[in-house]
Amino acid sequence: MAQPEPAAVNGDTRELNGSCFDLLLIELVPMSYRIEFCKYMDRDEGKSSSDRKWEDLTQEQKEKFMNESLGVGGVGGGTPLVDAEELRDRVLQRLDAQGFRVGRMLAERYTRDMQRLQDNLERMKFICKDLWMVVFRKQVDNLKTNHRGIFVLTDNTFTPIKRASLERGRDTATMMDQAQAFLYFHSGVIRGALHELGMECTVQAETTELPGVTFHIRTVGAKP
């Protein structure tokens, strides 16, 4: 069994079972798909499909849905039960919103005894050092900025996907596309934390080689 790993930020010590936290993050994506799938099927009341719930699907349909719902295909037979692209968009929005709420709460908690951060570079340093240590038990590997409102944050061994590997029979491009879904929650965490610190921005994450991840943060009004 994994041992709790203590971490302290400004004197605040917390214990967290790293393995349990990793499993929670991994489960967020399929759980969001299941929730949004049921909401999708219920939205058109009066239609035959509107009464279908997740538990009403056959095991074969469930397996097919979970295997293919991260960007390709649908549920059952040759006719999808849902529009895959629309479902994916709903899931990604849900993950980003969840991350945003978590990020705001984390920033509020771990800056309550700190002096107010004066500029965006200080805010980004808090994300790369303090927040990353709290959530992932390590610091960000690299931070770059053009000093005009654009920041690039690189984690070469991003904890939530560090044990991911190419699925047999799947090409690299498909796997990279599927991995994107697992980054939206964390993009939301960064955006929410920075919002709480007074920095409005957009956050986009990408991975070209597992388990490395790059986050592109662009503040409102930033210049290239």
- Helix H segments across 69-162? 84-110, 120-125, 132-136
* 142 close to 154: Cβ distance less than 8 angstroms: yes
**pLDDT, tens digit (0-9, with 9 covering 90-100), for 126-161:** 999 999 998 888 999 999 999 999 999 999 999 888
Higher pLDDT, 117 or 163: 117
Question: At 77, which CATH number?
Answer: 3.30.1380.20
Residue 130 domain flag: yes
Residue 59 domain flag: yes
Query: Tell me, what's the pLDDT at 127?
Result: 97
* Domain range enclosing 107: 16-219
Residue 7 domain flag: no
Higher pLDDT, 80 or 132: 132
Residue 8 domain flag: no
DSSP annotation of 168 reads T
As given in the structure block, the two tokens for residue 65 are 């849905």
